[in-house]
Amino acid sequence: MSSNSDRVDIAVTALRQAIIEQALKAGTKLPEDEIGRHFAMSRTLVRAVLGKLEAQGLVDTYHKRTATVARPSLEEARDTFAVRRALEREVVKGVIRHWNANVEKALKAHVAEEETAHARGDVRHSTRLAGEFHLKLAKLSGNFLLERYLYALVSRCSLILAIYGRPHSSECAISEHLALINALRDSDVAAAERMMDEHLNAVESRALLDEDMTAEPDIGAILSRYVARTLG
Ligand SMILES: [Zn+2]
C-alpha cells in the first residue's frame, strides 16, 4: 500500500505529463470526483494534487467550481518567456562555474537521446526531452531555487506551446542545444548568455497563435495510459 504522498506524486506526474504532451488540452475540465475515482484518493488529496499543478502554472482552480487545464493569455505567455529568459541567463553562469568533463558527457548524451526521438518522429517524446534539457542545465547550475523555478517555468512554456504553437512544432531545435553546449564548454559567459537568449526567442517565436481546441476527451482513458507509464 503506497503512502498518500506517493499517490499524490504519481497523480501529479501523470497529469503533468498528459497536460504537457497535449493529451489533456487547455481548458479541459478536471473534475475532482473523476480524478479521485481514478487514483483511488479522497477529495482532500485530489485538491493537493491540483494545488501542486497550479503552482506549476498548469492548472487553474481559482473562482471555479471545477479545475481546468490552464489557458494562459498571450500576454501571460510573453511574460512567462521573459521571466524564463532572465532565469536561464543565471543558469548559464552557474553551469559554466560547475563545468567539467562529466557535465559535458551528460549533456551530450541527453542531446543524442533528443536526436533519436526526433529521428523516430516521436514528437511527444522529443518535446519532453527538449524541456528536460533545460531542467538538466538548471540542476547543473548548482542553484536549487533556480532549478525549482525553472521546473515551473519550463512546464508552463510547454503548455503555452501546446496552446499557441503550430501542431507538431518542436519546442527546441537540437542544433541550438549543441551550439549552447559548445559555448558553455568554452566558458564564454557572454556568448553562452547570448545564445541562450536567441534560443529562447526562437522557442517563443515558434509559439504562434494557432489555437487548437477539440471536444472534451475521455480523461479516464488518458490517465490510465499516463499512470501506467509513470509506474513503469
Ligand atoms: Zn531548448
pLDDT tens by residue, 3-36: 888 899 999 999 998 988 778 988 999 999 999 9
Q: Can you tell me the distance from the alpha carbon of 152 to that of 55, in angstroms, rounded to the nearest whole number? A: 7
As given in the structure block, the three cell numbers for residue 113 are: 537521446
Lowest average pLDDT, out of 56-65, 98-107, 133-142, 211-220, goes to 211-220
Cα 112 to averaged position of ligand 1 atoms, centre (Å): 14
Q: How far apart are CA 60 and CA 145, in angstroms?
A: 23
| Cα(207) to centroid(ligand 1), Å | 13
Q: Is 174 helix (H, G, I), strand (E, B) or coil?
A: helix
Quote the ligand 1 centre to 206 CA distance (angstroms). 12
**In the chain, helix, strand, coil percent, each to 5?**
70, 5, 25
DSSP assignment, residue 216?
A: P
Distance (angstroms) between ligand 1 centre and the Cα of 200 equals 7
Give me ligand 1 centre to Cα 59, in Å: 23
Residue 210: φ, ψ to 5°: -160, 75
Q: How far apart are CA 96 and CA 119, in angstroms?
A: 30
Which has the minimum average pLDDT: 4-13, 84-93, 129-138, 162-171?
Answer: 162-171
**pLDDT on residue 162:** 78
Cα 180 to ligand 1 centre (Å): 9
State the pTM of this model. 0.79
Residue 209 pLDDT level (bands cut at 50, 70, 90): very low
Ligand 1 centre from 95 Cα, in Å? 15
Residue 193 CA neighbour count, 13 Å, CB half: 9
Q: In 3D, which of 187, 177, 82 has the Cα closest to residue 137?
A: 177
How many Å lie between the centroid of ligand 1 and the Cα of residue 213?
Answer: 26
Q: How far is the CA of 173 from the centre of ligand 1 (A)?
A: 7
Separation between Cα atoms, residue 102 and residue 181, nearest integer Å: 13
Predicted confidence (pLDDT) at residue 196 exceeds the cutoff of 90: yes
Inter-residue contact 154 to 84 (CB < 8 Å):
yes
183 Cα: distance to centroid of ligand 1 (angstroms): 14
Which structural domains are found in the chain, ordered by start? 4-70+213-231 (1.10.10.10), 74-205 (1.20.120.530)
For residue 4, give Cα distances in angstroms to 42, 112, 134, 152, 232.
10, 37, 30, 23, 19
Backbone angles phi, psi at 202, to 5 degrees: -65, -40
pLDDT at 69 over 60: yes
